[in-house]
Amino acid sequence: MKIGVLGTGDVGKALGKAFVTLGHEVKMGAREAGNEKAAAWAKEMGPKASAGTFADAAAFGDLVVLATLGVANESALAAAGPDRLRGKIVIDTTNPLDFSGGMPPKLAVSGNDSGGERVQRQLPGAKVVKAFNTVGNASMFRPDLPGGPPDMFIAGDDAEAKKTVGGVVKDFGFNVIDVGGIEASRYLEPMCIVWVLSAVGGNHWSQAFKLLRK
């Protein structure tokens, strides 16, 4: 499969690497062509990886990963071009975090709206699935944790798209918990702050959520 990754940060690099490791072709996009981080990442990953702009990555991917600064999603997606994402699955890994007041971050969008819903509204022709936003980038691919495979919460409006993303999530080493439509992003995005607070408090950076069940 061809994967477009919008984002040159730790998440874009980690998920891009995971897709390359599984044999997919990946193009990483940035605001500017020639972005140094994207170029260095592609060079390190080898022939299955390449770099370009957000628009290049959006056009390239059959499946596209959104891994941009959450409060900059709107401008990143405008640059990517909603028409280039029409009909495609978009995995939204982002959290609308506002660090302007220091730690802990606040949510720039909350209550009866969420970053995930905003992404879906901006991309009416795409099938947006929230995933990977509740785990740190160091544990996004086949995390080897003593408690076994962690859980990954996913949310989205399109059942087929969630089936596909669920398959990716399983391949990446997680159990899948589908919590409903994209509006469930309202509850998944604050979980990221719980993850950050517990990571900082206990100095646990390789940690992930898991529900225990009978």
Ligand X SMILES: NC(=O)c1ccc[n+]([C@@H]2O[C@H](COP(=O)([O-])OP(=O)(O)OC[C@H]3O[C@@H](n4cnc5c(N)ncnc54)[C@H](OP(=O)(O)O)[C@@H]3O)[C@@H](O)[C@H]2O)c1
List residues near ligand X by CB under 6 A. Answer: 7-12, 30-32, 35, 67-70, 72, 75-76, 93-95, 97, 133, 136-137
Apex 181 CA angle, 27 and 138, nearest 5: 45
The set of residues, in sequence order, having a beta carbon less than 8 Å from that of 98 and lying 6+ positions away, is: 71, 105, 106, 107, 108
Measured from the CB atom, the residue of 50 and 68 that comes closer to ligand X is 68
- Least Cβ distance, residue 116 to ligand X (angstroms): 11
Strand order in the sheet with 89-92: 49-53, 25-30, 2-6, 63-66, 89-92, 127-130, 151-156, 175-178
Residue nearest ligand X by beta-carbon distance: 9
Measured from the CB atom, the residue of 75 and 110 that comes closer to ligand X is 75
Measured from the CB atom, the residue of 34 and 148 that comes closer to ligand X is 34
Measured from the CB atom, the residue of 94 and 114 that comes closer to ligand X is 94
DSSP code per residue over 117-136:
HHHHHH-TTSEEEE-STTS-
- Least Cβ distance, residue 53 to ligand X (angstroms): 9
- Least Cβ distance, residue 155 to ligand X (angstroms): 14
Measured from the CB atom, the residue of 9 and 148 that comes closer to ligand X is 9
- Least Cβ distance, residue 49 to ligand X (angstroms): 15
| 8 A C-beta contact, residue 16 and residue 49 | yes
β-partners of residue 25 are: 2
The CA distance from 142 to 206, in Å, is 12
The CA distance from 36 to 41, in Å, is 8
- Least Cβ distance, residue 214 to ligand X (angstroms): 29
